[in-house]
Structure 1
Amino acid sequence: MRVDKFLWCTRYFKTRNMAAEAIKKGHVSVNGQLAKASREVYATDKIVLRKDQINYQFTILDIPQSRVGAKLVDVYRKDTTPDEAFAHLEMLKLSKEYYRAKGEGRPTKKDRRDIDDYTNDIDFDDDFE
Structure 2
Amino acid sequence: MAADENEPGAGGPVGGAGSQRLDKWLFFTRIVKSRTLAQKLVSSGGVRVNRDKITNPARQLRVGDTLTISYANAVRVLKVLGPGARRGPASEAVLLYEDLAPPDADRRAGASGDDKVSARRPDAPEAGNPRPSKKDRRALARLKGGGPA
Q: Is the pair's TM-score, using the shorter chain for normalization, greater than 0.5?
A: yes
Q: Take 1:12 and 1:76, find their aligned partners in 2: how far apart are those partners?
A: 11
- Equivalent residue runs for 1:38-57 within 5 Å: 38-57=58-77
Q: Which one has more relative contact order, counting CA pairs under 8 Å at least 6 apart?
A: 1
Q: RMSD of the TM alignment (CA)?
A: 2.1
Q: Take 1:3 and 1:64, find their aligned partners in 2: how far apart are those partners?
A: 11
Deviation at 1:101, TM superposition (A): 5.2
The one-letter amino acid of 1:107's match is A
Aligned residues: 107
Structure 1's unaligned 5+ residue stretches are: 113-129
SS of the equivalent of 2:84 reads: coil
Superposed structure 1 runs of 4+ greater than 3 Å apart: 106-112
Q: Give 1 or 2 for the bigger CA radius of gyration.
A: 2
Match of 2:88 among 62, 68, 71: 68
Q: Take 1:50 and 1:32, find their aligned partners in 2: how far apart are those partners?
A: 13
Identity in percent = 21
Whether the 8 Å CA contact 2:29–2:87 is kept in 1: the answer is yes
- TM-score (normalizing by structure 2): 0.64
The structure with more helix, counted as a fraction of residues = 1
